[in-house]
Amino acid sequence: MARDRRTAGSQARLGGRPRWLLSTGLAAAATALVCWPAWPGYMSFDSLLAYEQGLHGVYTMLWPPLHAYLFALSQAAGAQAWGLFLVQTFAIFFGANLSINLFARDARWAAALCLAFMASFVYVPGQMGVLFAHWRDVTTASFALLGLAAWLVAAHYRQLPLLLPAAAAFGAAVALRYNALPLVAFLLASMIWRPLLQPRPSGAARAAAAAAVVLSLGLAWASTHWRAPDLLRMPATENLAITQAFDLIGISACADRDLLPPSLNGQAPMSGMQIRQNYDPRHLNLSLAAKPGVRPFGRGKPDEIAQAWPSAVAREPGCYLAHRAAVFVEQMGLGRGEVFYPTHGGIDANPYGLALAHPKAAAWVNAYVARNAPEPWRRPILLYGAALAIGLAAAWRRRDLAGLFLAILAGAFAYVAALFVAAPAADARYIFPSNTLCALLIVLGVGVLAGEPRPPRR
Amino acid sequence: MGREGITAAAATCALLVLAGCARPAWTDPANSRDRRDLPAAPQTRRPAPILAEPLPPAPAWARGLIGRPLRSVFRRNGVCLGQTERVERLYTGRPAGLAVRGWGWDVASGRPVARVVLVDDDLRIVGAGEGGYPRPKLPRLAPAVTDPRAGWSARTGTASGTLRVYGVVAQGAQVCPLGQVEL
C-alpha cells in the first residue's frame, strides 16, 4: 500500500496540520485536570470485575473482555488501575485535539477550539462525572476518537497504511461494548468509501480500507467469543434476557397487569399496583431491589423471560414503546428529576488496595457534578440538538467533507437509537460515547461555520 | 452564521422545553385500577434440615487450604457454568456449620466440577466440597451440560456473611465462580 497518487491532487483538503506538540500538550493538561481529583479512577462493580479479570483471567463474556485485557496491560506495566485511567483520558483529548488541529489552519484558533471541547465536559457535568470513572463507555469513546484522528491523519499525509491503526482503534471501540457498532459504523463506511477523503479513490484504496475494517471488526467479534491468551471458547451469555426482563416489568406496569413469567413474579400473579410499586424506569436493578412493604419480583430465569417477551410485546406494543420511552427520557437526561447516575463518586470496597488518592478533591468534583448535572441547560440532550444543527450546517458549508460530518452525526444518533430498544438501564454513562462525538462535531462545525482568522501574510 | 445560528438556537430551546418531561402517569402505583395487593406464592421449599451433629471434616485435599487467601492458592480463573442453589443442611454439633449445594460444569474440560471451595467476605477459603451428585434435569435445562452428575455439596463452619463458591478446575490450577449465598 502506498500513497494514493491518482487522486492526490483533487483530494478534500482538511486545511490544518496535526500540530503534534499542541495536541499533546493540551491533552496532557486536560488529562491532569481530570485525573488528579479522581485518581486512580472511580471504580464500580463493573470496573472492579474487569480489574479482577485483568489480574486473574477472564471468566465471563457478560461484559466484553477487552476492558479486562486493558487492565491486564496496565497491571503488567506496574500501573495497576491508574495506567488505564491516564491513557483512556489522554486518548479522548488527544484524539479530539488532533482532529481539531487537522481542520484548523491557525494554531491559536485550533487551541481555542480544543479548549472549547475540553470545556464541554465541564459545561455538561455528566460528561465530566463519567470521565472520572473506569467505565468501558469512556474507553469506547477514547478509541472512537483515536480512530477518527488516525483516519484524518492518514488523509492529511495521504498514507493508506495509516488506515490500519484507524481501523484498529475503531475495532477496539466496537470490542468494548456490545452495542458500540452503530457509533462507528458510518465512520467505517465513510472510511471505506473515501479512504483518504479524496473525491475519487481507486478501487485498490477502497479494498485496502475495507480489508482493514473487516480485520478489525473480525478481531472485535472474536474477542467476545474466545478469551485470551488460551483461546478458550467461551459460553454464550444472556445479556438479552436482562433487557427483556426490564421490558416485561415495564410493559406490565404500563398495562397495569401481570405479564411476567412465573420465575419473575415469584410463581404467583402480581397486581398492577404491586408491579408499579417496584418499577423504576432508571434501572432494572432498581426495579428488582427489595422495597419495604412491597412484594418483590422473583429472580427470573433467562429461558422463561425469553419465552414471555415476544408475546408480551405483541399483546401490548403501545406499552412496550411507552416503557422504552420512559427509560429513554431518563437516559437522555430529559426528565424533570436528576440526571441518573452521572458519576460513581468513589471506589467500591475491594481487596486490591485501590482507594482514592485525593478524597477531598474527589468530594469537591462530585459535589460539582451532583449540583450542576440536573440544570436544564446543562443536560446531555443539548449536545445532540446542537450537533444536529451545527453538523448539518457544516456539512452544507463544506460539501467536500459532508460525508465525514454526517458520519459522525449519524453514528452519535444511531448509538442512542440502539439504546432506545436495548438499554437495561438509564445510566448517564451509556450515552457518554455519543455525547463525546456530538461535542467534537459541535466544535469542528463551529470551526467550519465561524470561519477562522486567516493566518497573517508573510 | 445567521441561518445556522437561528436553527441551533431553536433546537436548543426546544430541547430545553423537553427537559421538563415528567414521569408518565402509569408509573404511579396510585393510578393502578387493578387489585391492590395479591399475596405471594406460599413457600414450597422446606427449610434446611437441622442435624444435631458435628460438621463433617473438610475433604483431605482441602484441609491445608482452609484459612488461606483464595488468590494465594489459585491465581488464575477458569470458566464454568454453574449455580449455588441453597443451604442444604445445618449442623448444630461441635463444630457447628452448614452445607451448601449447587451445580458446576467445567467448560474447558467438558466435565462436571469435581471440587469446590467456599470463600468468605475476605476472600479466605473457609470450606470445601466435592462434586459428582446427580442432577438429572440439568442437561435439559442447560444443554452444554452433558453429564447429569454435575451437582456438588460443600461444607463450612462459617455461619454469617456472604459465602462465595468457586469450582476448582484445570487440575487444581484455576478456580471459577459458581455463585454465592447470603447467610
B179 touches A: beta carbon within 8 Å: no
Q: CA of A236 to nearest chain B CA: how many angstroms apart? A: 10
Nearest to B79 among A234, A303, A325 (CB): A234
Find the closest chain B residue to A297 by CA distance: B40
Interface of B with A in 38-57 (CB under 8 A): 38-41
| Angle CA B93–B96–B102, to nearest 5 | 120
Q: CA of B92 to nearest chain A CA: how many angstroms apart? A: 30
Average pLDDT of chain A, as a whole number:
94
String of b and e for A249-277 (b: at least 16 CB within 10 Å)? Answer: bbbbbbbbbbbbbebbbbeebbbbbbbbb
What pLDDT is stored for residue B37 in this prediction?
A: 78
Q: CA of B151 to nearest chain A CA: how many angstroms apart? A: 19
DSSP string, B80-117: EEEEEEEEEEEE-SSS-EEEEEEEEEETTTTEE--EEE
A253 touches B: beta carbon within 8 Å: yes
B29 touches A: beta carbon within 8 Å: yes
pLDDT band, residue A322 (cuts 50/70/90):
very high
Interface of A with B in 393-422 (CB under 8 A): 393
Other CB atoms within 10 Å distance of the CB of residue B68: 13
CB contact under 8 A, A235 and B144: yes
Name the nearest CA neighbour of A259 among A237, A275, A281, A280: A275
Q: Mean pLDDT across the stretch A192-217?
A: 96
Convert the pLDDT of each residue in A270-290 to its tens digit: 999 999 999 999 999 999 999
Other CB atoms within 10 Å distance of the CB of residue A91: 22
Percent of chain A at pLDDT > 90 equals 91
Residues of A in contact with B22 (CB under 8 A): 335-336
Residues of B in contact with A60 (CB under 8 A): 79
The DSSP code for A267 is T
Q: A interface mutation test: which of B3, B28, B33, B34 has the most A CBs within 10 A?
A: B34
Neighbour-count burial of B53, counting CB atoms closer than 10 A to its CB (0-12 exposed, 13-18 middle, 19+ buried): middle
Helices A317-331/A402-422 angle, 10° precision? 120
Find the closest chain A residue to B72 by CA distance: A56
pLDDT band, residue B34 (cuts 50/70/90):
confident
Name the nearest CA neighbour of A144 among A109, A179, A113: A179
Q: How far apart are CA A448 and CA A36, in angstroms?
A: 33
A136 pLDDT above the threshold of 90: yes
Q: Mean pLDDT across the stretch A18-30?
A: 98
Name the nearest CA neighbour of A157 among A46, A4, A282: A4
CB contact under 8 A, B79 and A256: no
Q: Mean pLDDT across the stretch B154-173?
A: 95
CB contact under 8 A, A351 and B123: yes
pLDDT band, residue A7 (cuts 50/70/90):
very low
Task: Give the bridge partners for A233, in sequence order.
Answer: A226
Convert the pLDDT of each residue in B101-158 to its tens digit: 999 999 999 999 999 999 999 999 999 999 999 999 999 888 899 999 999 999 999 9
DSSP string, B32-69: --S-S--PPPPP-SPPPPEESSPPPPPPGGGTTTTTSB
What pLDDT is stored for residue A452 in this prediction?
A: 60
B2 pLDDT above the threshold of 60: no
Find the closest chain A residue to B28 by CA distance: A276
Convert the pLDDT of each residue in A395-443 to its tens digit: 999 999 999 999 999 999 999 999 999 999 999 999 999 999 999 999 9
The answer to whether the CB of B70 falls within 8 A of the CB of B123 is yes
Q: A interface mutation test: which of B12, B13, B27 has the most A CBs within 10 A?
A: B27
B22 pLDDT above the threshold of 90: no
Q: Which helix (H) or strand (E) holds B176?
A: strand B174-182
pLDDT band, residue A2 (cuts 50/70/90):
very low
Nearest to A295 among B40, B75, B177 (CB): B40
Pairing of strands B162-169, B80-91: unpaired
Q: How far apart are CA A442 and CA A445, in angstroms?
A: 5
Q: How far apart are CA A435 and CA A445, in angstroms?
A: 15
Q: Mean pLDDT across the stretch A140-169?
A: 97
Name the nearest CA neighbour of A88 among A146, A22, A128: A146
CB contact under 8 A, B22 and A59: no
Q: Mean pLDDT across the stretch B60-82?
A: 96
Nearest to B75 among A56, A270, A393 (CB): A56
pLDDT band, residue A9 (cuts 50/70/90):
very low
Interface of A with B in 40-79 (CB under 8 A): 53, 56-60
A458 pLDDT above the threshold of 60: no
Q: How far apart are CA A283 and CA A432, in angstroms?
A: 17
A1 pLDDT above the threshold of 70: no
Convert the pLDDT of each residue in A231-251 to its tens digit: 999 998 888 999 999 999 999
SS3 A134: coil
Q: Which residue shows C-alpha cell 465471563?
A: A60
Nearest to A59 among B32, B79, B144 (CB): B79
Task: Give the bridge partners for A315, in sequence order.
Answer: none
A295 touches B: beta carbon within 8 Å: yes
CB contact under 8 A, A232 and B108: yes
Q: How far apart are CA A203 and CA A211, in angstroms?
A: 12
Q: CA of A295 to nearest chain B CA: how many angstroms apart? A: 7
B4 touches A: beta carbon within 8 Å: yes
What pLDDT is stored for residue B109 in this prediction?
A: 96
B7 touches A: beta carbon within 8 Å: yes
Q: How far apart are CA A22 and CA A16, in angstroms?
A: 13
What pLDDT is stored for residue A359 in this prediction?
A: 98
Q: Which residue shows C-alpha cell 454465592?
A: B180
The answer to whether the CB of A81 falls within 8 A of the CB of A347 is no
* pTM of the full structure: 0.92
CB contact under 8 A, A235 and B81: yes
Task: Give the bridge partners for A421, in sequence order.
Answer: none
CB contact under 8 A, A334 and B18: yes
What pLDDT is stored for residue B1 in this prediction?
A: 45
A12 pLDDT above the threshold of 70: no
The answer to whether the CB of A145 falls within 8 A of the CB of A91 is yes
ipTM of the complex: 0.87
Task: Give the bridge partners for B111, in sequence order.
Answer: B106
CB contact under 8 A, B36 and A271: yes
What pLDDT is stored for residue B35 in this prediction?
A: 82
Cα distances from A261 to residues A231, A309, A328, A407, in angstroms, run 37, 9, 25, 41
pLDDT band, residue A5 (cuts 50/70/90):
very low
CB contact under 8 A, A295 and B37: yes
CB contact under 8 A, A272 and B34: yes
pLDDT band, residue A3 (cuts 50/70/90):
very low
Nearest to B107 among A232, A272, A319 (CB): A232
Interface of B with A in 133-152 (CB under 8 A): 141, 144
Grid cell, residue A393, equals 450546517
Convert the pLDDT of each residue in A348-394 to its tens digit: 999 999 999 999 999 999 999 999 999 999 999 999 999 999 999 99
pLDDT band, residue B5 (cuts 50/70/90):
low
A120 pLDDT above the threshold of 80: yes
Interface of B with A in 88-107 (CB under 8 A): 107
Q: A interface mutation test: which of B21, B75, B168, B178 has the most A CBs within 10 A?
A: B21
What pLDDT is stored for residue B175 in this prediction?
A: 98
B3 pLDDT above the threshold of 80: no
Q: How far apart are CA A277 and CA A83, in angstroms?
A: 43
The answer to whether the CB of A194 falls within 8 A of the CB of A201 is yes
CB contact under 8 A, A390 and B8: yes
What pLDDT is stored for residue A426 in this prediction?
A: 95
